[in-house]
Amino acid sequence: MKLRHFTIAVLTAFSVLVACSEPENNGSGQQQEAASVSVSPASLSFTSAAESKEVTVTTNCNWTAQSDADWANVSITSGGVSRSGAVVKVTVQANKGDARSATVTFTGKGSNTVTTKLAISQEGYQVPKELTVSATSVSMLAKGETKALSFKATEAWTASANAPWITISPVSGQGSDKSQSITITVEANADDARTGKVTFTMGDLSKEVSVNQQGVPQFETLTVSEFISKAPDTGEWYRLTGIITQICDNTAKAYGNFYIKDDTGEVFVYGMTREYSEGNNNQTFAQLSLKEGDELTFITQRSQYHGEPQAGGNLQPAYYESHIPHPTPQREYADYKANSSSEPWLELPATSEDDEHQFLHHTMFIGSQETRNYSMYWDRHHLVARWVAYPLYRKAWGYGTRTDRWGLDKLLKSSEQPVLDRTYTSSDGNTYDRGHQIPSADRLCYESNVKTFYYTNMTPQLSALNGQLWANLEQNVREWSWPDKQYDTDTLYVVTGCVVDDSVTTVKDNEGKSVTVPTHYYKALLRVYQGSYNAIGFWLEHREYSQKKIDQSLAVSIDQLEELTGEDFFHNLPDAVESVVEAKDPKTDDWWWNRMLK
């Protein structure tokens, strides 16, 4: 009985020792179970995104799991007997490259070793399918144009146009997740506006881009007189052709202000650009290199300014079409010099044959019409103009900018006038400007402005006066002549002068000639509007003033100014008018003071 119990115990212990070994005979005719490890499913497939999936590991022995890739990992790397199956999570990282594969090896160990492999595959990164364009339409000029259009196509693509006047480059390409571009070129269009289409195709996707090209409208061609007869500001466009008679400003940033003339008339063009520019003057006129005398064809609307017909306009400039170059005509100016004047112009003070002063007159052109620029009474002993007289109205102002073309007056020898390439030289410690009598800003067209820089128009004026109170007076004079402010002025007649007879101060010009420094400055103004007149005078000592703006304390009647200066102003007025206008006290005339600059 004891022997039997011992035999059972030994057999039991031996059974445990060989549980995970190759099947062997246990002496009773039975074999032991073989070691096994199985994985279900035997393979896993993943997309390119980071992802996890589960497998079931069934084993009758201890086991381990090992991945051969660092992007594929298992949640459990070892375990024991699991006949009912252990769940293991397999996780892959996101794949930004090509397709890839890995293997996880499961190994069971006892007295023998068995392995089972789990195959893992992951798709490569796929660029999302996308076809987009940066614009759904492209606008092109009538003269022909090339523009770039950006787009994004993630697969191979093609582009095509449905019209022969549209050219595309390139017409195909490979996909990319980055932006690409093509160029779209259109031929010149001499007809009406037209529309074409560019189509992008990528597999089953497509995008269309409309190509809209301006046409050349068939404008009505008019003579200048026919153009002037048209109603203003209707929005209608016309074609004009004529000879350029005057360009007011041809600097690099000129707005394109000029006069043009044909056999029927002449008209002012307020603003022209190289090409159509909607509602905006882009200052491209100078790029056309036009000259006076050229035959110009351009497109314009009919506008007007203070009742005067104009081409171009403040709201919409004209634009260039073509031109035929011609030689620039040489202007002949009727400038002259005399001992006195019998001209009937209202701005002129009286002159005399006996005072040794010289009457100098300079003309200017407004378009093709010659008219007076200014006149002066030259004192050859003191080398200053005793007065400079001129009419001031909007057309006489002109359009342009300051030229700074300092120079000799062509009516006098250089020995008869100061030479002022540089300003005066003084010995009294004061700084004197080359002070204009007719301001540069009162004549803005180029050739008219050049004449305001003649040395005869200058006096040695203290900088402290010239740049402050006197400048304010000049600005107000222009303000009073400005018709667009509804100041009811047809013409403002201006006399600007200086008093030198009692002066004991002189300065030197650039050649050492003595020039007398004035003791006083003045202005006499006569306003004319629809046959009515009013006048005002200003009398200033030649010194620095603490006030910066003119006021009634500086105003005098014309009669008073005549007593102060010894001049006879506006002597061409009818006597009955002159006596009333010149006697009136301007301090009580609100017309002047209500219209001053603020």
DSSP 379-432: ETTTTEEEEEEEEE-HHHH-S-------B--TTS-GGGS---SS--B-SSS--E
Span between the terminal Cα atoms of the chain, in Å:
138
Q: What pLDDT band is residue 17 in, cutting at 50, 70 and 90?
A: very low
pLDDT at 125 (0 to 100):
86
Calpha distance 74→61 (Å, rounded): 19
Q: What pLDDT band is residue 39 in, cutting at 50, 70 and 90?
A: very high
Calpha distance 388→377 (Å, rounded): 7
Domain count, the chain: 4
pLDDT at 278 (0 to 100):
83
Report whether 212 contacts 139 (CB < 8 A): yes
Per-residue pLDDT tens over the stretch 82-101 = 999 999 999 999 998 999 99
Report whether 561 contacts 535 (CB < 8 A): no
Last residue in a domain, options 187, 213, 239: 213
- Judge if 571 and 529 occupy the same domain: yes
Q: Which residues contact 63 (CB under 8 A, 6 or more apart)?
A: 37, 57, 78, 79, 80, 106, 107, 108, 109
Which pair of structure tokens corresponds to residue 183?
């160029």
- Judge if 311 and 259 occupy the same domain: yes
- Judge if 482 and 508 occupy the same domain: yes
Lowest mean pLDDT among 13-22, 213-222, 274-283, 391-400: 13-22
Mean pLDDT of 227-252: 93
- Judge if 377 and 506 occupy the same domain: yes
Backbone torsion region of residue 67, taken as left when φ is above 0, otherwise alpha when ψ lies between -120 and 50, otherwise beta: beta
Per-residue pLDDT tens over the stretch 307-343 = 889 999 988 999 999 999 999 998 889 999 999 999 9
Residue by residue, what is the 3-state secondary structure of 172-185? EECCCCCCEEEEEE
pLDDT at 5 over 60: no
- Judge if 225 and 282 occupy the same domain: yes
Per-residue pLDDT tens over the stretch 537-582 = 999 999 999 999 999 999 999 999 999 999 999 999 999 999 999 9
429 versus 550: the higher-pLDDT residue is 550
pLDDT at 16 (0 to 100):
32
pLDDT at 102 (0 to 100):
96
Residue by residue, what is the 3-state secondary structure of 304-334? EECCEEEEECCCCCEEEEEEECCCCCCCCCC
Mean pLDDT of 57-62: 93
- Judge if 443 and 464 occupy the same domain: yes
Q: Which residues contact 372 (CB under 8 A, 6 or more apart)?
A: 345, 361, 362, 363, 364, 390, 391
Calpha distance 55→75 (Å, rounded): 11
Mean pLDDT of 355-375: 96
Which pair of structure tokens corresponds to residue 180?
């690409």
Strand 555-556 to strand 137-140: parallel, antiparallel, or no bridges (unpaired)?
unpaired
Mean pLDDT of 398-424: 95
pLDDT at 375 over 60: yes
pLDDT at 31 (0 to 100):
56
- Mean pLDDT (the chain) is 91
Report whether 396 contacts 443 (CB < 8 A): yes
Report whether 518 contacts 499 (CB < 8 A): yes
- Judge if 197 and 244 occupy the same domain: no
Per-residue pLDDT tens over the stretch 164-219 = 999 999 999 999 989 999 999 999 988 889 999 999 999 999 999 999 999 877 78
pLDDT at 486 (0 to 100):
62
pLDDT at 13 over 50: no
Calpha distance 210→73 (Å, rounded): 53
pLDDT at 217 (0 to 100):
73
CATH number at residue 560: 3.40.570.10
Note the Cα 369 to chain centre separation in Å: 35
Calpha distance 96→512 (Å, rounded): 87
Mean pLDDT of 274-280: 88
Q: Which residues contact 227 (CB under 8 A, 6 or more apart)?
A: 238, 240, 267, 300, 302, 309, 311
- Judge if 170 and 312 occupy the same domain: no
Place of tokens 């499913």: 41
CATH number at residue 159: 2.60.40.10
Per-residue pLDDT tens over the stretch 392-407 = 998 898 888 899 999 9
CATH number at residue 310: 2.40.50.200
Per-residue pLDDT tens over the stretch 254-263 = 999 999 999 9
- Judge if 456 and 581 occupy the same domain: yes
Q: Is the dihedral of CA 367, 369, 374, 377 positive or negative?
A: positive
Which pair of structure tokens corresponds to residue 135?
């614009």
pLDDT at 1 (0 to 100):
41
Residue 298 inside a domain? The answer is: yes
Of 416, 426, 450, the residue nearest 436 (C-alpha): 450
Buried-exposed string 53-77: b where 16+ CB fall within 10 A, e elsewhere: eebebbbbbbbebebeeeebbbeee
Per-residue pLDDT tens over the stretch 450-488 = 999 999 999 999 999 999 999 999 999 999 998 765 668
Residue 244 bridge partners (DSSP): 260
Q: What is the extent of the structural domain holding 363?
A: 343-593
pLDDT at 344 (0 to 100):
97
Q: What pLDDT band is residue 6 in, cutting at 50, 70 and 90?
A: very low
* Stretch (H or E) spanning 295: strand 295-305
pLDDT at 19 (0 to 100):
37
Backbone torsion region of residue 126, taken as left when φ is above 0, otherwise alpha when ψ lies between -120 and 50, otherwise beta: beta
Per-residue pLDDT tens over the stretch 493-507 = 999 999 999 999 999
Residue 187 inside a domain? The answer is: yes
Report whether 312 contacts 272 (CB < 8 A): yes
Strand 220-222 to strand 237-247: parallel, antiparallel, or no bridges (unpaired)?
parallel
28 versus 597: the higher-pLDDT residue is 597
Residue 29 inside a domain? The answer is: no
Q: Is the bond leading into 41 cis (omega within 30 degrees of zero)?
A: yes
- Judge if 229 and 372 occupy the same domain: no
Last residue in a domain, options 149, 183, 213: 213
pLDDT at 21 over 60: no
